[in-house]
Amino acid sequence: MSGKQGTERLVRCPACGGDSVYAASNPHRPFCSARCRQVDLGAWASEQFRMAADAPPDDSGPADPRLQ
């Protein structure tokens, strides 16, 4: 067995920026707590996280060439 198997590493919590244990002992990983996990889920649910995208041009024709 590897000696690294039981090690825990610290990562930055994506919600609060604090230290979070990234190991099986932390059921909320990569978050530091259940609260931070819920805050992140709420942000996704309220669409606070968005991907920038260009809108398609209005003058574009149908995608199917048979319909032209």
Q: pTM of the full predicted structure?
A: 0.61
Domains present along the chain, CATH in parentheses:
9-46 (3.30.50.10)
Q: Does residue 46 register a pLDDT over 80?
A: yes
- What's the CA gap between 14 and 32, in Å, rounded? 9
What residues does 19 pair with on adjacent strands? 12
- What's the CA gap between 42 and 34, in Å, rounded? 12
- Which pLDDT belongs to residue 52? 81
Q: Does residue 41 register a pLDDT over 80?
A: yes
